[in-house]
Amino acid sequence: MGPDSPRPSTHGAVALGALVLLLCALVAATFNGPSRVGLERDDDRSRVVEEGDSRERADQRSDPEDGQPEPDDEPWLPWLPPADLLLLVPSALIFGAALLVLARLRVVRRRRRLTGRVGVRHSPVTEVAPPDEAEEPALPGALDEGARGIGEGSPRNAIVATWVRLEQAVESEHFPHRPAETPSELVERALASYHLDAEAIERLAALYREARFSRHPVTEEHRAEAAACLRRLLATLGRPGARTR
C-alpha cells in the first residue's frame, strides 16, 4: 500500500456524497421524464380533438411567439424556478444535514479521544461533615483502644488490627463504607474531616500498608512508630475545636 492508496477515513464521506448525488440525479430524472411525456400526450390529445382544424391553428400552437400561450402551460408563479429544480433543494438540505452530522461525529470522537488522555489518577478526597457532638464519639474510643492494644501480638498483626478498629469506628460515624475505596482512602477521608495531625495520619496509613501488603519483616520499631502516631492523633482529637471545622 503506497501513497496513492485511498484514505480509509474519507471512504464514508465519499460514499455518502456519491449516494446523495445519485439520489439527486434520480429525483431530477424521475420528475423531468413524466412531465415531458405528459406534455406530449396533451399535444397528441389536442391533435386528435382538433383533427379537422386548419394547419394555421396548429402552427399558432407550435409557435408561441405568434399567438397567446395555452392557459395550462402558463406557470402559476412565473418567478419561481422549475419544479424539478425545487425538488433538489430538500436533497441538498439532506446532504448538508448528513455532512453536519458527520462533522459533529468527528468532533465528538476527537473530543472523546482527547478527553481520554490519560495520566496518574489521584483519588478524590471528599470532604465529609463531622458527626454531631451529641453522638457517641467512636473514633476517640477506637484510637484509645488501638493505642492500648497495639502492644499485643506480632507487630504486623497489631498494626493491621489497629487499622481495622479505625475503619469500624469511622464507618459507624456517618462515613459510609465504600467498598471500592482503599482502606487508607476511607480512613484518610474520615480523619481529614476532624482536622487531625496530617503527618501522623499519613505515617499511620503508610505503616498499615506496609504491614498489610509487604512480606519483609515488620519490626518492633514499626509498632512503636504506630503507637506514637496513635498518641498524636488522640492528642489532636482531644484538643478543643478538633471536632469542628
Where do contacts with another protein occur on this chain (CB under 8 A)? Answer: 1-3, 5, 7-10, 104-106, 108-123, 154, 156-157, 160-161, 163-164, 167, 178-185, 208-216
Q: What are phi and psi of 157, to 5 degrees?
A: -65, -35
Q: Which is nearer to another protein, 4 or 133 (CB)?
A: 4
Q: How far is the CB of 239 from another protein (least distance, A)?
A: 27
Q: How far is the CB of 104 from another protein (least distance, A)?
A: 7
Q: How far is the CB of 224 from another protein (least distance, A)?
A: 20
Q: Classify residue 10 by its DSSP letter.
A: G
Grid coordinates of 6: 485511498
For the chain, how many residues are written?
Answer: 245
219 and 155 in contact (C-beta within 8 Å)? yes
Q: Which is nearer to another protein, 68 or 115 (CB)?
A: 115
Q: Which is nearer to another protein, 178 or 239 (CB)?
A: 178
Q: What is the distance between the alpha carbons of residues 134 and 71, in angstroms, rounded to a whole number?
A: 97
Q: What Rg do the C-alpha atoms of the chain give, in angstroms?
A: 43
Q: Which is nearer to another protein, 36 or 122 (CB)?
A: 122
Q: What is the distance between the alpha carbons of residues 46 and 235, in angstroms, rounded to a whole number?
A: 113
Q: How far is the CB of 162 from another protein (least distance, A)?
A: 9
Q: Which is nearer to another protein, 10 or 35 (CB)?
A: 10
Q: How far is the CB of 115 from another protein (least distance, A)?
A: 6
Choose among 229, 217, 231: nearest CA to 154. Answer: 217
Q: How far is the CB of 200 from another protein (least distance, A)?
A: 18
Contacts with 210 (C-beta within 8 Å, 6 or more apart), sequence order:
218, 222
Q: Which is nearer to another protein, 22 or 164 (CB)?
A: 164
Q: What is the distance between the alpha carbons of residues 186 and 190, in angstroms, rounded to a whole number?
A: 6
208 and 143 in contact (C-beta within 8 Å)? no
162: amino acid identity, one letter: T
Q: How far is the CB of 120 from another protein (least distance, A)?
A: 4
210 and 192 in contact (C-beta within 8 Å)? no
